[in-house]
Structure 1
Amino acid sequence: MTRDDDHDELFLATSTSIEVYYPAAFNFSKRYNLNKGNIYSLRFKSLLYFFCLVKHFFGTYKIKYHIHGPDHEPVEIDFTPPYKRIYLL
């Protein structure tokens, strides 16, 4: 995921308040800002980074999500472009 060996354990943190929306990748020793641009481009790039994390963790862009709990059938969520609107509630 990164070129350096000391950056292997990266996590994504975002601030969703209106004033500040800076996604940042961090490990336990350092913090890295991913981008400091327009707020709309930040939200879009943050989503793209999330989709890359889904691909990295699960090995595919399609994941199963249990909306109503583990007793019911899971819903398959597809994160491949073009991105569709998903209602989770």
Structure 2
Amino acid sequence: MKLTIKYFAGIREQLGLAEETVDIDAPETTVDGLRKTLASRDARSADALQAHRPVRAAVNLELVDGAYVVREDSEIAFFPPVTGG
């Protein structure tokens, strides 16, 4: 399944990447599953997307939780929680 992944703020800075297209060998996956797959690629990805780090996700511009099921041609955005001031 082909997915567009976007990274924001500190995650983008750590990865040195704002956006990428990935091919996942599954008909569907959860946001948490996708995050784990992306984190397993290399040390930099593991650090940026580590499981204990607070990371928010949006699928097709809608905020979702980790159990949300992602399907073909979705756009997934990962970003740290936003604080106001």
Verify same fold: TM over 0.5.
Answer: no
Higher relative contact order (Cα pairs below 8 Å, separated by 6+ residues): 2
User: Computing the radius of gyration over CA atoms, which structure comes out larger, 1 or 2?
Assistant: 1
Which structure has the highest strand share of the two? 2
TM-score (ref. length: structure 1): 0.28
